[in-house]
Structure 1
Amino acid sequence: MKLCDKNVSQIGFGTWKMGGGFWTPDYSRDSHYVEILKYVINNGINLIDTAEMYGGGHAEELVGKAIKGFDRENIFIITKVWPNHLRYEDVIKSAKESLRRLDTKYIDLYLIHWPNPSIPLNETIRAMENLVDQGIVRCIGVSNFDVKLLSEAITLTRKYEIVANEIEYSVNNKSAESDIIPFCEKNNIKIIAYSPLARGNVKNNKILEEIGRKYGKTAIQVALNYLIKRSIPIPKASTKDHVDEILGSLGWSLSDEDYERIRKL
């Protein structure tokens, strides 16, 4: 699969709550999380999703440490600017600070984390396009944008396209299939699915378990396999065993019948 002219894995990896929570860093498990991230990359997942808000930027620092020793061109890094930083100069500053924490030469994809109705979207888009011109960012996108806002963002771009919209999407929350996913598909915008395991709740889904038995797969693997048809899911894992389970969602496909059964859940 291609994103920003780079090959990316069908599944990415999320870093929310790695190195802290909402703007608050936690350094107590740094070596563990760096090891997990390296394990993820070594096992073929090359899309890593983070944000300036995660641990107050510490998640970005962990990603920066983990990617050392890998060919940067083979890794795809997404990070996001928080909605209170969407003024022109604040966007530029946030991106430069993210780049510093990631300790790399560029950000593959830079997203508006959440919309902010009090700041003109045009001002934010201008700044993001400037970041591409400077070489700080390769591609731009959005997160948590509905059809109306995304349509506006598309019309406001002058030089570069909106390439992705990161949204909540799981087998437990398929509302996006009715509007935003078809809109993105029509406009060649990739869907990146956060909370793809519904914060762990899919593992207890009896229907997914039943379908999984046909394929020798777990409910989690079935749930992710369903999502990769129309999105790039970005699950998070805190153990190597969980990473292995995530990897087991690749290399096979649900039958049309089973896909439809899950779609109608």
Structure 2
Amino acid sequence: MKLCNKEVSQIGFGTWKMGGGYWSPDYSNDNKYIEIIKYVISKGVNVIDTAEMYGGGHAEELVGKAVKDFDRESIFIITKVWPNHLRYDDLIKSAKDSLRRLDSKYIDLYLIHWPNSSIPLEETIRAMEYLVDQGIVNCIGVSNFDVMLLERAMSLTKKYEIVANEIEYNVDNKTAERDIIPFCERNNIKVIAYSPLSRGNVKNNTILEEIGRKYGKTSVQVALNYLMRRSIPIPKASTKEHVDEILGALGWNLSNDDYDRISKI
């Protein structure tokens, strides 16, 4: 699968709450998180998702340190600009700050984290396209945009396409299947699924457990395999054991009957 002309893994890795929470850094588990990200990459997952808001940018710093041991060209880094930084100059500053924290020459995919109706989207898109012109980012996209907003963003681009929309999508929240996912599919926009494990709830889903027994898989693996059909899920893990479980979602496919059964949960 290709995104921004780079081969990407079917599953990505999220970094929310690594290195702190909402704009608040926490340095106490840095080595642990760097090792986990390295482990993920060593296992063939090359999509790493982060944001300037995560730990006030500290998650980006952890990602930057983790990828140093790998060929940067083989890693696909996604980061996101917070909605209060969507004015032209603010957005460019945010991107440059993210680039510095990532200690990288470029950002693979830069997303508008959430829309902000108080700032003209035209101004934001103009700044995003400037970043591509300058080689700071390779591709641009959005996050948490509905069909109407995504259509508007697409209409405002002059030079570069919106290539991705990152949204909440999991077996407990399949509302995106009604409109935004079909719209993205029609327009060649990749869907990136955050909270793909429904904040841990999939572990207690008896239908997923039952289906999983047929394949020798856990409910987590079944849930991710379901999402992989129409998105790139970006689960997070804080142990190598959980990473290994996540990777068990790869290399097999749910039957159409089982897929349909999950779609009706």
Q: Normalised by the size of structure 1, how large is the TM-score?
A: 1.00
- Classify the secondary structure of the residue corresponding to 1:142: strand
Write the letter of the residue equivalent to 1:14.
Answer: G
Q: 3-state SS of the aligned residue for 2:24?
A: coil
Q: Say if 2:108 is the partner of 1:114.
A: no
Q: Within 5 Å, which residues of 2 pair with 1:15-34?
A: 15-34=15-34
Secondary structure at the aligned position of 2:141 is classed as strand
Q: Deviations over 1:201-241 (max 9, x none)?
A: 00100000000000000000000000000000000000000
CA deviation after TM superposition for structure 1 residue 54, in Å: 0.1
Match of 1:190 in 2: 190
Q: Which amino acid aligns with 2:216?
A: G
The aligned runs of 1:208-247 (5 Å cut-off) are 208-247=208-247
Q: Structure 1, residues 54-95: CA drift from partner, whole Å, max 9, x if none?
A: 000000000000000200010000000000000000000000
CA RMSD of aligned residues (A): 0.2
| SS of match in other structure, 1:214 | helix
- Counterpart in 1 of 2:129? 129
- Whole-angstrom CA distance in 1 between matches of 2:104 and 2:84: 24
1:12, distance to aligned residue in structure 2 (A)? 0.1
Structure 2 CA distance, aligned partners of 1:85 and 1:162? 19
Q: TM-score, normalised by structure 2?
A: 1.00
Amino acid at match of 2:142: V
- Give runs of ≥4 in structure 1 deviating > 4 Å: none
| Displacement of 1:117 | 0.1
**Which amino acid is the alignment partner of residue 75 of structure 2?**
I
Equivalent residues in 2 for 1:88-103, closer than 5 Å: 88-103=88-103
- In structure 2, distance between residues paired with 1:122 and 1:88: 10
For residues 112-143 of structure 1, give each alpha carbon's deviation from its aligned partner in whole angstroms, at most 9, with x where no partner exists: 00000000000000000000000000000000
Q: Which amino acid aligns with 2:54?
A: Y
Q: Measure how far apart 1:195 and its partner are.
A: 0.1
Aligned residue for 2:67?
67
Secondary structure at the aligned position of 2:114 is classed as coil
Distance 2:253 2:180 in 1: 24
Provide the C-alpha distance between the structure 2 equivalents of 1:214 and 1:194, rounded to a whole number of angstroms: 27
Q: CA deviation at 1:257?
A: 0.3
- The residue matched to 1:67 in structure 2 has which SS? helix
Equivalent position of 1:140 in the other structure: 140
5+ residue gaps in structure 1?
none
What CA distance in whole angstroms lies between the structure 2 residues aligned with 1:70 and 1:25?
25
1:153-192 aligned at under 5 Å gives the runs 153-192=153-192
Look up the equivalent residue of 2:259 and give its one-letter code.
Y
What amino acid does structure 2 have at the position aligned with 1:133? D
Distance 2:217 2:49 in 1: 25
Measured after TM superposition, the shift of residue 96 of structure 1 is 0.1
Equivalent residue, structure 2, for 1:39: 39
Amino acid at match of 2:222: V
Please state whether the residue corresponding to 2:68 is helix, strand or coil.
Answer: coil
Q: Which residue identity is paired with 2:189?
A: I
CA apart distance, 1:259:
0.2
Cα distance in 2 for residues equivalent to 1:69 and 1:11:
21
Q: Give 2:45's aligned amino acid.
A: I
3-state SS, counterpart of residue 68 of structure 1: helix
Deviation at 1:249, TM superposition (A): 0.3
Instruction: Give identity over the alignment, percent.
Output: 81
Residue 201 of structure 1 corresponds to 201
Matches within 5 A, 1:49-68: 49-68=49-68
